[in-house]
Amino acid sequence: MHTLRDTHHTVAVVKHEKEKHITMNEHVKILTDSAIVINRIAQILDEEEIPSLIKDNVESARLAGFGTSANNVELYVYKWDLGKAKEVIKTFLENNEKQ
C-alpha cells in the first residue's frame, strides 16, 4: 500500500498490477466508514482483484490540526468495477451484521 500526500488530503492507494495510472474521475466513491472497516474491505477487494483507493479524511484532518468524525474514511473503486465491488461489500456487511 502506498500513500499519496498533497496539501489537501492523504490518499492511500491499494496497488494492483492492472493499474497504469490513478485519476479520481475514473473512480467512484462506494463507501464511507471507519478506517478499520474500510481497510478490511479494501483487503477483500484486493483478494478479488478489484483495485481500490482509500481517502483518509481523518488522518488528513489530524495532520492539519483539525478534528473530524472517526467514520470519515472513503473507499473508491474504478467505475467499471462498481458492480462487482458492490456485491463483495454487500456480502461482507451482511456477514458481519450476524456477528
The domain locations on the chain are: 2-97
Q: Which amino acid is at 25?
A: N
Place of cell 481500490: 52
Between CA 80 and CA 90, with CA 84 as vertex, the angle to 5 degrees is: 135
Predicted confidence at residue 6, as pLDDT, reads 37
pLDDT band at 7 (very low <50, low <70, confident <90, very high): very low
* CATH class, range 2-97: alpha beta
Average pLDDT estimate for 84-97:
92
Cβ 60 vs Cβ 11: under 8 Å: no
**CA distances, 54 to each of 64, 93, 99 (Å):** 18, 18, 25
Q: How far, in Å, CA of 67 to CA of 4, rounded?
A: 21
24-39 per-position pLDDT tens digit: 578 999 999 988 999 9
pLDDT band at 89 (very low <50, low <70, confident <90, very high): very high
69-88 per-position pLDDT tens digit: 667 889 999 999 999 999 99
Tell me the whole-structure pTM to 2 decimals. 0.66
